[in-house]
A and B are shown apart, each in its own frame.
Chain A
Amino acid sequence: MSEAEEITVNVEFSGGMERLMKDQASSIQAKLPEPATIRDLIIHVRDNVVEDKKELFSKNDTVCPGILVIINGSDWEVEDSEDTVLSNKDTVLFISTLHGG
């Protein structure tokens, strides 16, 4: 089997989301084998980037309700939510809506 192609995705966290991440990172780069969907990215972030309270980021292999997902500047619900296919150099932003008023 030939080497799997990899894509690199820029991942950003805001609205308080960043505080769940290792080193409270507000951005990271994720490498995913192609083809990759947003669901694959969420699982990757949950398993490798979230510090401990994983249940505040993800349940049932998707993000917790109340977390917005923005792909290249637009709402993932405009596309196919979890099943949206990612391309190399895409930027995905996770915003928590739960913090503060």
Chain B
Amino acid sequence: MPRQCEICNNARAILRRPKTGQRICNECFFYVFETEIHNTIVDNKLFKPGDRVGIGASGGKDSTVLAYVMKTLNNRYNYGLDLYLLSVDEGISGYRDDSLETVKRNKEQYGLPLLIVSYEQLYGWSMDSIVEAVGRKNNCTFCGVFRRQALDRGALMLDLDHIVTGHNADDVAETILMNLFRGDLPRLGRCTEIVTAGDGYIGRSKPFKYAYEKEIVMYAYLKHLDYFSTECTYSPNAYRGYAREFLKDLEFVRPSAILDIIHSGEAMQVASDVQLPTLAHCERCGYISSNALCKACILLEGLERGVPKLGIAKSARHAQELLANESAMKSAGKAVEPVHFELLRGKAQAMREQRQMKEQQQECHDCTATSCAFACDDDATGLCSSSKETRRCACADSNAETNAAAS
């Protein structure tokens, strides 16, 4: 006999929640899943009305479900957010090009504007060409550093207030374990935070921080969401792979393990004698950085000079040694100077001012002009000056009468 839903007692249960062990039906699952995300958003005050929020979209399950849920909640609870899809094209053929097709379909399905920024366009190097230069061993370092900055660049191009990413509870627990096992205390302290600072201007958050991967996949399955599921062709990050397998084994015998680990991570305090780097800006590109040059600029410099090991050098001295051998270097000559962050910030600021000005103005009743001529609408007819001209020629008399009557 089919089991009944333990919430509504009214329908067939189709899912056992890993968080609670409850067996629940379709509709109750959608409701509790979405409501928990809503509560995470409200409890942590992730947004304010009018915010422009970018959804980091990879085409994978997490970000696809995130886009769908964000759109749903924004409508249901009137968050008043302007939502955007923001994707990074790393330039990995057979992987990212396919997943970006999924993002483009999501754009149509959800009716959200999409911006794709590519490594090629931003840095002059695609991951395919980086792998060609550095081999398959350290390419993940490049990808991670470039992606982080690429998202910030995209966010400034769209003048976003905030970026949300699809990291789920399993990802967060996995990262806690990895940082713990590596003794990376500064990261251990930061990785449990639901909001992080981004480049210092644009905050990032993880609305799925407490959402189990199993529920995200079930949600996508039950809602028939269109997502892409291929492993990155360059991906083997062995360390993360082991952490993940270990975590899944733990979850198997004790489903609460994932939330328990997050809880422990949150409760851990980074000792005050652990040096947290003080942050300044990169001399070259203006990105936030604890050193004179940010990690991306060092990696790029290494690529340009044909010493790709530069950025993954173990110490500053090691990097100096590598640079000292400069005579042996050839220029790979791809040179795209990344756009300076001050310039991006300036443009974002200008866009913001323009929007604010537009909000204050009404549109002309006759045409859609919002030009400066409109600012001279001192007789408050709601017409731009050129429309006034036109009206005057066409029906000056009747128009004058209407205006007189109105005032």
Q: Using a CB–CB distance below 8 Å, which chain A residues touch chain B?
A: 14-16, 19, 64-66, 68, 70, 73-75, 77-79, 95-101
B252 touching A101, Cβ below 8 Å: no
Q: Which 3 A-B pairs have the closest CB atoms?
A: A100-B60, A65-B248, A77-B16
Query: Of B59, B62, B167, B248, which contacts A64 at CB under 8 A?
Result: B248
A97 touching B217, Cβ below 8 Å: yes
Minimum CB distance partner of B250 in chain A = A65
**How many residue pairs bridge A and B at CB < 8 Å?**
74
Q: Which residues of A are found within 8 Å of B273, using beta-carbon distances?
A: none
Query: Of A15, A75, A101, which contacts B171 at CB under 8 A?
Result: A101
Shortest C-beta distance, B97 to chain A (Å), equals 14
Q: Please name 20 pairs of A and B residues whose Cβ atoms are closer than 8 Å in the assembled complex, sorted by A.
A: A14-B229, A16-B229, A16-B230, A16-B231, A19-B230, A65-B248, A68-B217, A68-B221, A73-B14, A74-B12, A74-B13, A78-B14, A78-B23, A99-B231, A100-B58, A100-B61, A100-B227, A100-B228, A100-B229, A100-B230
Minimum CB distance partner of A100 in chain B = B60
B14 touching A95, Cβ below 8 Å: no
Shortest C-beta distance, B138 to chain A (Å), equals 21
Q: Which of B212-240 contact A (CB under 8 A)?
A: 213-214, 216-218, 221, 227-232
Minimum CB distance partner of A77 in chain B = B16
A101 touching B58, Cβ below 8 Å: yes
B218 touching A15, Cβ below 8 Å: no
Q: Which residues of B are found within 8 Å of A77, using beta-carbon distances?
A: 15-16, 23
Shortest C-beta distance, B27 to chain A (Å), equals 14
With A64-B248, A74-B14 in contact, is A15–B217 under 8 Å at CB?
yes
Q: Using a CB–CB distance below 8 Å, which chain B residues touch chain A?
A: 3, 12-16, 23, 58-63, 99, 166-167, 171, 213-214, 216-218, 221, 227-232, 244-245, 248-249, 251-252
Q: Which residues of B are found within 8 Å of A15, using beta-carbon distances?
A: 61, 217, 229
The distance in angstroms between the C-alpha atoms of A16 and B60, with both chains bound, is 11
Q: Which residues of B are found within 8 Å of A75, using beta-carbon distances?
A: 14-16, 218
Query: Of B14, B63, B214, B245, which contacts A101 at CB under 8 A?
Result: B63
Minimum CB distance partner of A74 in chain B = B14
Query: Of B59, B99, B231, B248, which contacts A66 at CB under 8 A?
Result: B248
The distance in angstroms between the C-alpha atoms of A26 and B211, with both chains bound, is 28
Minimum CB distance partner of B99 in chain A = A100
Query: Of A64, A74, A96, which contacts B229 at CB under 8 A?
Result: A96
The distance in angstroms between the C-alpha atoms of A70 and B218, with both chains bound, is 9
Minimum CB distance partner of A15 in chain B = B229
Q: Which residues of B are found within 8 Å of A73, using beta-carbon distances?
A: 14
The distance in angstroms between the C-alpha atoms of A79 and B251, with both chains bound, is 19
The distance in angstroms between the C-alpha atoms of A79 and B23, with both chains bound, is 9
The distance in angstroms between the C-alpha atoms of A4 and B229, with both chains bound, is 39
Minimum CB distance partner of A66 in chain B = B248
Q: Which residues of B are found within 8 Å of A68, using beta-carbon distances?
A: 214, 217-218, 221
Q: Which residues of A are found within 8 Å of B221, using beta-carbon distances?
A: 68, 70, 95
Q: Which residues of A are found within 8 Å of B213, using beta-carbon distances?
A: 66, 97
Minimum CB distance partner of B56 in chain A = A101
